[in-house]
Structure 1
Amino acid sequence: MRKMIEAGWRTVSPNSVNGADDPLINVVGSGDSDQSKLVFCDFIVCIESEKMYMIESKGGAIACMLLALLFLGTWPAIMTLTERRGRLPQHTYLDYTITNLLAAVIIAFTLGQIGPSRPNFITQLSQDNWQSVMFAMAGGIVLSLGNLATQYAWAFVGLSVTEVVTSSITVVIGTTLNYFLDDRINRAEILFPGAACFLIAVCFGSAVHKSNAADNKSKLQNFNRLNNIHNYLETTSSFQIETNHANSGLGKEKAKEGTAAFLIELEKQRAIKVFGKSTIIGLAITFFAGICFSMFSPAFNLATNDQWHTLKHGVPKLSVYTAFFYFSISAFVIALILNIRFLYWPVLGLPRSSFKAYLNDWNGRGWSFLAGFLCGFGNGLQFMGGQAAGYAAADAVQALPLVSTFWGILLFGEYRRSSRRTYVLLISMLFMFIVAVAVLMASSGHRK
């Protein structure tokens, strides 16, 4: 290969002194070239040695974080969509876990096979690195438990509030742990004010939920004075409803978003019934999910950087791609076990199902597969950015409520026809998230 390239270069540039090592053609092989001036130096591939440089610059890390933010903010909206259309969350989550694992496999056998100085993915599978593997798998387990909990929390407290609370808990706890694990490579004077912004956002998020719940209660009470809700649920069969109470949003056409009729019809169609149940249940599930989410990134950090020196001398640290593979394997296994259990012994009043019923349920399966891919690639991008710029800064992707709230308003009609107080709190919450994202990304460091 080198002889062919050198012969071709001699023909094109006969006056070249260095031949195939001329920096005009080989920026990697030439010792005279300054690679730091190249904009995309992190992605240069040296064909001869079959090496690819990992993401190392702050710009590359931030690009990964922003893309991860989009993916991780979109997949919860897709999962919520299927639940609101009546698909059992057990069925949806089983589909999701398949493509979530597949995303990790794709990353491992592509990017993981062309690592720079470390052994590639296949080589690391046979190395004595079980200590780091255990950390990676522990991270996958807690992430899977958190994701499983949130799909039930979405029904009780809504997509936006669930993502706000869980993300804020993740940042407050997880960012602090990652900062010290990463030997303080992130700028503390910027990082922790950013974490404080997330904490303020969770307060606004709780207030938004309380205000919006009061708005919905008022709508339903006004409607109940004109109709019996329970009889209404029994006699109507779809969003096509007939009544003359225009103030309640009812008519011969589809119920308007944000009205009492819309809330009642949504309750009838969705898989998880929430009327008459305490929102404390939803908030408890949400806080449990947040605690789980706050642990997965520090565990992954330990898996890839071995800060506790658990590996034997001379054993290479896990690459981010290999660690992500083990991480996803454990997440898949725990999700498979729990969801099959929930098929036959459901929780929160869901109907009983079976594995055969799951296999025959194709309603919304494509959406569930898409959600798994988005989450899988989103997590992978987050870890790639964290390995380069510090996992504490990578927690900026926990601002995913910015994306989730957009989808919640656009797709599900959340906060439609709410009170002015709710809108003020909602805008304040989103503003604090925007500030938090900017501050956390500004704290990005550089791992040596």
Structure 2
Amino acid sequence: MYVVESRGGAIACMLLSLLFLGTWPAILTLLERRGRLPQHTYLDYTITNLLAAVIIAFTFGEFGNTNDGKPNFLIQLSQNNWPSVLFAMVGGVVLSLGNLSTQYAWAFVGLSVTEVITSSITVVIGTTLNYFLDDKINRAEILFPGVACFFIALCLGSALHASNAKDNKEKLNKLQGCQVGGNGSISNGSKTISKNDLEYGSSKPEKAKAGTASFLIELESQRSIKVFGRSTVIGLAMCLFSGICFSLFSPAFNLATNDQWNTLDDGVPHLSVYTAFFYFSCSCFVIAIILNITFLYYPAFNLPKSSIKAYLNDWEGRGWAFLAGFLCGFGNGLQFMGGQAAGYAAADAVQALPLVSTFWGVLFFGEYRKSSRRTYVLLVGMLSMFIVAVGVLMASSGHRKN
């Protein structure tokens, strides 16, 4: 079994995890904006997310020699370690619920703001819990200023969302006679405009520029989740729920691998990161499959109904969804590998993933284009706080005693 032991190795794991975990939400957002049903996308994503955990377990979890204190992955599957297994599975359940909620929140409040709010809540609550669970191996005088930076970023992110929403409303209001209906339709006088309106399509032969009112309307006509006319409070509520779920999965995994509550029988070794991650991913997979198959037939937010057959025949964007699952799976695995070595509180530095998500949001989705000066100031301030926070949290890394 391969074990990350050095502080440098742990930081390398965190940086790779930060890149992977910041990229997969952008891919799922891209597919939703192209009109693919989120239920189809999430089912594809879930398959490769579990496959990543299996690959990690049978490679890193089986490399090298084994001993009674550090058994390899396959040996641990037959041991009496069910209390720790249950903690790992609880972590997988709350992560699955959080991920499922965020895929709808992205549509309502945008990729960048969703990631800011959920990540900041995760750090403020989850990092504090991990600090005490890890017997304070991280330097509190460095760790908690980093947590404070995340909290400031949360406040700036909320203000950024409000400012950007105001900017978008003003852009749409400048279109004379254009009104947004409660079902997301857009009307101009007595005529309703939809993505199936050929005359409307022919009147815009060129793709609208990002940040313009025409771009917002064009995006609304293409995407699968219609958000015009809906309150953004829905999206913010989902962000809050997701953030609470995300703040619990890492402490649950911490308990699974280190047994701070002494639930294992004497002589039973602690779960390795790889065994815990396998059970964690299995429970995440089961919950996601159950909920998304349910949403195929009973969709939320007025999405069209689907079926297992329709899902199996929907290959548009499937490769991207598979890639997102791999990135998330390997990103979570690397976070846990780094956390086991340097402390899970320090590993929460990967929650600065809005740095990566915002980059993709601006580059590919046109977020914050042609916005007000106030919005740009808030955006720069938010990103600056995240840069400081990730550096501070990594600097607080400790070393776990075996």
- The residue that corresponds to 1:60 in the other structure is 9
Deviation at 1:191, TM superposition (A): 0.2
Pick the aligned partner of 2:137 from 179, 185, 188: 185
The offset of 1:348, in angstroms, is: 1.0
1:113 Cα offset (Å): 1.1
What letter is aligned with 2:320? W
Which residue of the partner structure matches residue 323 of structure 1? 276
TM-score for both structures, normalised by structure 1: 0.85
Aligned twin of 2:45:
96
Report what 2:372 is aligned to.
419
Question: In structure 1, what is the Cα distance between the partners aligned to 2:10 and 2:245?
Answer: 24
- How much has 1:114 moved relative to structure 2? 2.5
- 1:328-377 Cα offsets, whole Å, 9 max, x none, are 00000000000000000011111111111000000110000000000000
Q: C-alpha deviations, 1:123-150, integer Å up to 9, x for none?
A: 1001000000000000000000000000
Partner of residue 334, structure 1: 287
1:221-250 residue CA offsets vs partner (Å, 9 max, x unmatched)? 11143688323523765898565xxxxxxx
From 80, 83, 91, give the equivalent of 1:131.
Answer: 83
In the alignment, structure 1 residue 85 sits paired with structure 2 residue 37: no
Structure 1: segments with no counterpart, 5+ residues: 1-51, 244-250
Deviation at 1:419, TM superposition (A): 0.5
The answer to whether the 8 Å contact 1:240/1:254 transfers is no
Residue 210 of structure 2 corresponds to 257
Question: Is 1:377 aligned with 2:330?
Answer: yes
Contact 2:130 2:344 in 1 (8 A): yes
**Which residue in the other structure is 1:217 paired with?**
169
Identity value in percent? 77
Task: Note closer, same or farther for the CA distance 1:198–1:70 as it changes in structure 2 (3 Å cut).
Answer: same
Match of 1:278 among 228, 231, 234: 231
Structure 2 residue aligned with 1:233, among 193, 196, 203? Answer: 193
Runs of 4+ that moved beyond 4 A: 235-243
Which residue number corresponds to residue 33 of structure 1?
Answer: none
One-letter amino acid matched to 1:274: V
Q: Distance in 1 between matches of 2:138 and 2:159?
A: 31
Seen in structure 2, the aligned counterparts of structure 1 residues 235 and 89 have a Cα distance that, compared at 3 Å, is closer
Task: Summarize the Cα distance change of 1:257–1:181 in structure 2 as closer, same or farther, 3 Å threshold.
Answer: same
The one of 301, 309, 312 equivalent to 1:348 is 301
Structure 1 residue 53: Cα displacement: 5.1
Q: Which amino acid aligns with 2:175?
A: F
Residue by residue over 1:161-180, the C-alpha shift from the partner in whole angstroms, topping out at 9 and shown as x without a partner, is 00000000000000000000
Q: Which amino acid aligns with 1:211?
A: S
Please give the alpha-carbon distance, in whole angstroms, between the structure 1 residues aligned to 2:370 and 2:34.
22
Larger Rg: 1
**SS in structure 2 opposite 1:113?**
coil
Residue 183 of structure 2 is matched in structure 1 by none
Matched, 1:105 2:54: yes
The match for 1:39 is: none
Which residues of 2 match residues 21-170 of structure 1 at below 5 A? 54-114=3-63, 117=67, 118-170=70-122
Using the alignment, how far apart are the partners of 2:115 and 2:237 within structure 1? 14
Distance in 2 (alpha carbons) for counterparts of 1:123 and 1:240: 63
Q: Displacement, 1:265?
A: 1.1
Greater alpha carbon shift after TM alignment, 106-115 vs 294-303:
106-115
Letter matched to residue 167 of structure 1: S
The separation in 2 between residues aligned to 1:297 and 1:120, in whole angstroms, is: 22
User: 1:20: which partner in 2?
Assistant: none
Counterpart selection for 1:268 from 221, 227, 245: 221
Unmatched 5+ stretches in structure 2 = 181-185
Paired AA for residue 55 in structure 2: I
Kindly provide the amino acid, as one letter, of the partner of residue 170 in structure 2: S
Distance 1:281 1:407, change over 3 A: same
Query: C-alpha separation between the residues in 1 aligned to 2:220 and 2:400?
Result: 49
Q: Deviations over 1:253-292 (max 9, x none)?
A: 1111111111011111100000110000000001100000
Whole-angstrom distance in 2 between the partners of 1:370 and 1:238? 34
Separation (CA, whole Å) in 1 of partners of 2:200 and 2:26 = 24
Residues in 2 aligned to 1:235 and 1:196: alpha-carbon distance in whole angstroms: 45
Distance 1:434 1:373 in 2: 25
Q: Please say if residues 175 and 391 of structure 1, whose CA atoms lie closer than 8 Å, have aligned partners that are also in contact.
A: yes
Tell me if structure 2 keeps the 8 A contact 1:55–1:388. yes
Deviations 1:103-125 (A, max 9, x none): 00000011111265411111100
Q: How far off its partner does 1:312 sit?
A: 0.1
Change (3 A) 1:235 1:386: closer
Q: Is the 8 A contact 1:233 1:264 kept in 2?
A: no
Aligned to 2:399: 446
Letter in 2 for 1:111: F
Cα distance in 2 for partners of 1:64, 1:219 equals 43
Hey, what's the Cα distance between the residues in 2 that align with 1:238 and 1:304? 58
TM-score, structure 2 as length reference: 0.94
Q: Following the alignment from structure 1 to structure 2, what is the Cα–Cα distance between the partners of residues 240 and 403?
A: 35
Aligned residues: 390
Q: Which letter maps to 1:350?
A: L
State the structure with bigger RCO (CA 8 A, min sep 6), 1 or 2: 2
Structure 2 counterpart of 1:71, which letter? Answer: F
Alignment check: 8 A CA contact 2:2 2:60 kept: no
